[in-house]
Amino acid sequence: MQATDTPTELTRPALAGWLRLQQTGGVGLLTAHRLLERFGTPSEIFAADRSALLEVVTARQANALLAPPTGVAAAETEPWLDAMQAWQAQPGNRLLPFGHPDYPEYLSNIVAAPLLLYIKGRAELLARHSVAVVGSRNASRQGVLNAERMAQTLSEAGVTVVSGLALGIDAAAHLGGLNGPGGTIAVLGTGIDRIYPARNGALARRIAEEGCIISEYPLATPPSRDNFPRRNRIISGLARGVLVVEAAAQSGSLITARLAVGQGRDVYAVPGSIHATLSKGCHQLIREGARLVESGYDVLADMQMLADAEAGSRSTPDDSFVDRILEAMGADPLAAELLAERLDQPAGELQGQLLALELAGLLERLPGGMFQRLRI
């Protein structure tokens, strides 16, 4: 990637250049990337002469790039720049242009990567290994439990969970990601200051504080039917792989999965009953080559992250503490929070030790955050 106009916060002139590039008539995202590849930054694109531009674009596009902004776009430039600078100044907010050293490496390599990422929260999560977990908005109760449990398993192994903040599987995936150190990233199909659906407002606020929210859309962009399929390329583009938990035959999750294939990512699908409508899409993906998985550990193992998870989980507890955990578990299912109280141990610190015991086959994770001792 080329260097951008500034290595840190975008200045007003740099913002103006990105805005102008996005609004130039006849110049789409693919053409913008060709121009950036050739010239490096928006300011250098607009400083280029006609002959240099014609090496990359058509005569009509060159004319558009050389013409000063006019009409509504010109009138809105200064208010837009004012709003963007005010937004950037708020704690936890950041604008990241394509080509910046901090721009996510996986995402930068996809076709039509976003020119600007609006980021709120823990931007460092964008540099971590991640897996996208997606599925039906109208998920079954079992599907929601599976998504949260599998996402938590990934997060406990240090893998960041990416999803789209939709109802159903997406929301469950984010909750599971928040329950482990890997955290979660929510990719919006609206402006980053517009949460959709509104029912996920509390979840979005928690993700902004504990995880990360991103969008490619300008501030105040409302929900639009076209935006959500478009944002799916970002969900898959950020991740090393995509896990589809539940999906009907015409589900939008299948779009994400097929985009992932085109981006060279691994695709995983959870099977279900042959009679279940919400399993049809997953079965279709499996027939097309997706890997059948039954747990988050299957994904970790296939992506060769399981050894790291095991090593990290074994690094904290000693044998005497393992014995204490197993003794405190007893014979009946027990919630992790209650176990932590019995052991006088912070629940967050206990998660890695529970993962180690689960990997060793001594405990089984049950729906609802419960654990069952397997060997008494």
Which H or E run contains 215? strand 212-215
**How far is 369 from 272, CA to CA, in rounded Å?**
22
Q: Which residues of the chain have pLDDT under 70?
A: 1-8, 70-75, 306-320, 346-349, 351-352, 355-356, 359-360, 367-369, 375-376
210 to 159, 178, 181, 185, 204: CA distances (angstroms): 15, 7, 10, 10, 10
Q: What is the mean pLDDT of the chain?
A: 87
Q: What is the pLDDT of residue 376?
A: 45
Q: How far is CA 42 from CA 19, 58, 122, 157, 289, in A?
A: 9, 18, 27, 40, 41
Rg of the chain over all Cα atoms, to the nearest angstrom: 23
pLDDT for res 312: 41
Token pair, residue 248, equals 């009907």
Q: What pLDDT is stored for residue 126 in this prediction?
A: 96
Task: Report pLDDT for 314.
Answer: 38
User: Mind listing the pLDDT tens digit for each residue in 233-292?
Assistant: 999 999 999 999 999 988 889 989 999 999 999 999 999 999 999 999 999 999 999 999
Q: Which of these, 80, 79, 65, lies nearest to 24 by C-alpha position? A: 65
The 8 Å CB, 24+ separation contacts for 334-338 are: 334/370, 334/371, 334/372, 335/368, 335/369, 335/370, 335/371, 336/369, 336/370, 336/371, 337/369
The confidence score (pLDDT) of residue 316 equals: 42
Quick one: pLDDT at residue 335?
83
d(CA 164, CA 53): 37
| CB-based contact 180:156 (threshold 8 Å) | yes
Q: Report the pLDDT value the prediction gives residue 3, as an integer from 0 to 100.
A: 39
CA distance 345 to 113: 44
The pTM of this model reads: 0.79
- For the chain, which domains are there? 12-91 (1.10.150.20), 123-308 (3.40.50.450), 316-373 (1.10.10.10)
Please, are residues 16 and 97 in contact by the beta-carbon 8 Å criterion? no
